[in-house]
């Protein structure tokens, strides 16, 4: 069964979220890692009477290199049980294999998520799906490490095929070899495409892993809400600077409360006729400009074809690095004058340049 068909047959996907009847975005918060029983309980009590709906703590921590703190293991699940009994908060943790799932279910964890490193492996996801088959737990899937939407959707499809009804996705950004102000680039367009294709699938933003810096969390959270995300997963610690993992991106419980106060919850739309008329006019202008952009790009590629023919005739290499670097530097400066960010200009012109190379190589090979 195709993913679209599976999703169409599961209109109840949003039911678990709607049943919460929240007047604010869903909030999943707690420490990156469960470190000690005292630490887990102290943070939980500080979050008890806030907007937090699920208390998260990493029990098993997949780390890039061996020798780093990789979590306290199953012992931490007992601490989460104490959180639930002492505060009444629902609990959440990451699972990465069948054993993790079985232990989490045994300790009545309410919400499970599959991490970015696990999502990249269909074998791991299928193992988890099989272990969760028919469960009534909420299961969220973080995007894979690399910007691969089909891989992300494939993981959700495997869970849907296992008759898991309470599903959702977590957008935590994507790794890149290029330096950026983000720990993981948000690549918002992929999350938007996911929303567009499957609007009934709850989508949660993880600003902690996107930013890697606590002072950027509010801005990224606001962007997510402006894009109609359903909620946020924010790492929270009473002493973040001394956390055993991801210290720089965790906020204190009081800082989390302030973030939630500062966030502006915007309406999805407005029924007012004047607003809709003005919006439609502006969108019509956008459509015209977009068509002009496509037409110009088409003309540019025809010139690239001519350049390819000339290079073929003279037996010249396609890539001219010196000229490319000069163009890129010039475009960044001109873009800044037009109010366009360097990040956007670099992404756009690298894509244009790659398409130009493809056109030239096609001509040369003919």
- For the segment 152-187, what is each residue's pLDDT rounded down to a tens digit? 999 999 999 999 989 999 999 999 877 788 999 999
Phi then psi dihedrals of residue 33, to 5 deg: -130, 140
CATH number given to 273-365: 1.20.59.10
Counting residues of the chain whose pLDDT is more than 90, the rounded percentage is 69
Q: What is the mean pLDDT of the chain?
A: 91
Gap between the Cα atoms of 36 and 54, Å rounded: 19
Gap between the Cα atoms of 76 and 103, Å rounded: 11
Rg of the chain, C-alpha, whole Å = 24
Per-residue confidence at 285, pLDDT binned at 50, 70, 90?
A: confident
The number of angstroms, rounded, from the C-alpha of 103 to the middle of its chain's C-alpha atoms is 27
pLDDT score at 6: 59
pLDDT score at 69: 77
Is it the case that residue 13 has pLDDT exceeding 90? no
Q: Which residue has the higher pLDDT, 71 or 234?
A: 234
pLDDT score at 2: 57
Question: Which strand (E) or helix (H) includes residue 291?
Answer: helix 273-314
**What digits encode the pLDDT tens for the residues 46-75?**
999 999 999 999 999 776 677 777 789 999
**What digits encode the pLDDT tens for the residues 290-310?**
988 999 999 999 999 999 999
Structure letter (DSSP) for residue 270 = -
Per-residue confidence at 8, pLDDT binned at 50, 70, 90?
A: low
Q: Which residue, among 140, 114, 129, has the nearest Cα to 232 in the 3D structure?
A: 140
Question: Which strand (E) or helix (H) includes residue 167?
Answer: strand 167-171
C-alpha dist (Å) from residue 187 to 101, 175, 192, 220, 356: 30, 10, 9, 12, 23
Is it the case that residue 249 has pLDDT exceeding 60? yes
Gap between the Cα atoms of 221 and 62, Å rounded: 25
Structure letter (DSSP) for residue 356 = H
Looking at residues 23-44, what average pLDDT do you find? 96
pTM of the model: 0.79
> What is the third-level CATH fold of 3-262?
TIM Barrel (3.20.20)
Give the CB-side neighbour count of residue 263, counting CA atoms within 13 A.
29
Is it the case that residue 45 has pLDDT exceeding 80? yes
pLDDT score at 196: 85
Domain positions in the chain are: 3-262, 273-365
pLDDT score at 10: 55
Per-residue confidence at 251, pLDDT binned at 50, 70, 90?
A: very high
Per-residue confidence at 247, pLDDT binned at 50, 70, 90?
A: very high
pLDDT score at 275: 82
Looking at residues 133-147, what average pLDDT do you find? 95
Tokens representing residue 141 in the block:
């899937």
Gap between the Cα atoms of 243 and 166, Å rounded: 32
């Amino acid at each position: 069964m195709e993913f679209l068909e599976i999703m169409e047959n599961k209109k109840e996907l949003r039911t678990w979220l709607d049943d919460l009847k929240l007047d604010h975005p869903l909030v999943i918060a707690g420490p990156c890692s469960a470190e000690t029983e005292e630490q887990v309980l102290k943070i939980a009590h500080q979050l008890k009477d806030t907007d937090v709906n699920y208390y998260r703590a990493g029990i098993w921590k997949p780390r890039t290199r061996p020798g780093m703190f990789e979590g306290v293991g199953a012992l931490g699940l007992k601490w989460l049980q104490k959180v639930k009994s002492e505060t009444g908060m629902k609990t959440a943790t990451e699972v990465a294999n069948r054993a993790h799932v079985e232990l989490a279910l045994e300790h009545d964890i309410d919400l499970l998520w599959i991490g970015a490193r696990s999502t990249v492996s269909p074998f791991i996801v299928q193992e988890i799906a099989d272990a969760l088959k028919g469960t009534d737990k909420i299961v969220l899937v973080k995007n894979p490490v690399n910007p691969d939407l089909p891989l992300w959707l494939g993981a959700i499809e495997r869970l849907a095929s296992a008759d898991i009804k309470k599903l959702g996705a977590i957008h935590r950004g994507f790794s890149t070899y290029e330096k950026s102000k983000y720990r993981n680039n948000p690549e918002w367009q992929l999350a938007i495409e996911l929303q567009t294709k499957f609007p009934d699938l709850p989508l949660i933003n993880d600003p902690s892993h996107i930013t890697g810096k606590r002072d950027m969390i509010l801005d990224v959270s606001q962007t997510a809400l402006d894009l109609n995300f359903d909620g946020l997963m924010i790492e929270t610690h009473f002493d973040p600077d001394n956390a055993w993992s991801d210290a720089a991106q965790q906020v204190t419980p009081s800082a989390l409360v302030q973030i939630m106060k500062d966030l502006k919850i915007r309406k999805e739309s407005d029924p007012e006729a004047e607003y809709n008329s003005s919006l439609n006019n502006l969108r019509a202008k956008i459509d015209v400009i977009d068509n002009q952009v496509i037409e110009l790009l088409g003309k540019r590629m025809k010139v690239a074809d001519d350049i390819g023919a000339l290079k073929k005739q003279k037996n010249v290499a396609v890539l001219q690095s010196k000229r490319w670097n000069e163009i890129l530097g010039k475009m960044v400066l001109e873009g800044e004058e037009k109010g366009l960010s360097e990040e956007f200009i670099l992404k756009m012109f690298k894509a244009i340049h790659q398409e130009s190379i493809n056109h030239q190589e096609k001509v040369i090979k003919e």
